[in-house]
Amino acid sequence: MTTQPHTLPTDASSSPSGVGGEGAARSSRRAWRSLRTSLPLVPFFAYVLVGLGVPTIVIVNLAFRNNQGHLSLQNIKAITSGGQYLLGFESSLKLAAVTAIVPAIFGTLLAYVVATSKFALLRRLVATASGVFANFGGVNLAFIFIATVGYTGLATSFLSHFGLNPWNHGFDLYRITGVELVYFYFQIPLMVLIITPAIGGLKESWREAAQNLGASSWKYWRYVGLPVLMPSVLGSTLLLFGSGLSAYATAEALTGGTIALTPIQIGAVLNGNVLANETNIGYALGFIMIVMMLISMVGYFFLQRRASRWLR
């Protein structure tokens, strides 16, 4: 007697082809979800490409070309070999450093006082005021300072009645020190805005644990608070440095272009105030500024990555 082999029913879902088909379907669904999620970002990237990418490529290209259109280092040598352009870089770096470090210190202290305050109204007022002041600049800000502490300003006239006229003691609003003072007006509130979330990320449990272990307030800040907060502070300082380095309208309106700053020199080139055989100098100045800003942004990125390890 011959026994017929028993054949099990096949299931398409358990076959290799069925598993492969189901995996392909899942991959297709994931790809579609990814595409649907990323689609709203297309206008943003298109705007960045047109408004930032293309001009940057043009600036870099023309920075290394002479008046005849040939590749050359003539423009870079002209702005780094001395003279007014090198002085402009030095003045711009000094202005950016001062208007980054000083506001970083005062802004951090102010942000800590406000963030640890028990008055919610105070926190809201400072946050609102900082948002307004940090975005207030240009001609309007220059006019306010001229009308207030200018040579014939209201505050200057008031202080003159008491023999405290600052202009009689070396103060000059229209020099580099005056520009630094005006930049403090929006740099300190900007520091408050960007460092407040980092201060809010300091957990109260860390302080309590330090106190339970016998640590004083000084030791808590020395070994816990400051090391955790320092990457955020340094990163925010780099943002302030970039802001002070690239600001143009306020310094131009305040001084009329009488001081050597690289943004003002670039503006002069755009207005056609160039010497013979220096038509591409403005592009070379812009290229150096792009490099400086890129260094600041890269430093900020790595510092923020380090800060995010703790402040989450």
Domain tally, the chain: 1
CB atoms within 10 A of CB 201: 16
Residues 6-41 have pLDDT tens digits of 554 445 444 455 555 666 667 777 777 777 777 887
How many Å apart are CA 234 and CA 214, to the nearest integer?
29
pLDDT band at 1 (very low <50, low <70, confident <90, very high): very low
Quick check: is 279 in a domain? yes
Residue 55 domain boundaries: 45-135+186-307
Distance (Å, whole) CA 280 – CA 29: 51
| Most confident of the ranges 92-106, 118-132, 223-237, 289-303 | 92-106
Within-domain flag for 8? no
What's the CATH code of the domain at 254? 1.10.3720.10
- Residue 95's pLDDT band, with cuts at 50, 70 and 90, is very high
- Does the residue 86 lie in any domain? yes
Q: Is residue 16 part of a domain?
A: no
Residue 189 has pLDDT above 60, yes or no: yes
- Tell whether the model's pLDDT for residue 311 goes beyond 70: no
Domain assignment present for residue 37? The answer is no
Longest dimension (CA), the chain: 129
In a domain, 129, yes or no: yes
Sole residue written with tokens 């131009």:
252
20 domain-assigned: no
Banded model confidence at residue 213, pLDDT cuts 50, 70, 90:
confident
pLDDT score for 51: 85
Q: How much is the pLDDT for 12? A: 45
Q: What is the pTM of this model?
A: 0.80
Contact 288, 93 (CB under 8 A): no
Instruction: Kindly tell me if the per-residue pLDDT of 48 is higher than 80.
Output: yes
Taking the mean position of all CA atoms in its chain, how far away is CA 199? 18
pLDDT, one tens digit per residue, over 258-272 is 888 999 888 888 777
CA dist 109 and 229 (Å) reads: 12
Domain assignment present for residue 145? The answer is: no
